[in-house]
Amino acid sequence: MKVYWNNRNKKAEILEDIEKDAANPWYSKEPQSHILIGVGRIFINPLDYGIDGYSLSAEDLEALLKKLRDKNTA
């Protein structure tokens, strides 16, 4: 997982990576989703929390799914 920290001295790195990965909102109805689906990553781009957001790779998602399945079988 990559965390994007606020940096006021340059364009937000998360916006650059979203553009490079051709990510689109998960859904486009209002309110607009802060989850964007790209080619290789899913981006979470919240409007607050002191960070610009973070991205999840396929490996991150598989690990999260495994944890969810493990909790459901416990």
Residue 16 pairs in a beta bridge with none
pLDDT at residue number 6:
78
Contact 6, 51 (CB under 8 A): yes
> pTM of the predicted model, to two decimals?
0.62
Residues of the chain with pLDDT under 70: 10, 29-33, 46-52, 71, 74
**How many angstroms separate the first and last alpha carbons of the chain?**
26
Instruction: Report the amino acid identity of residue 9.
Output: N
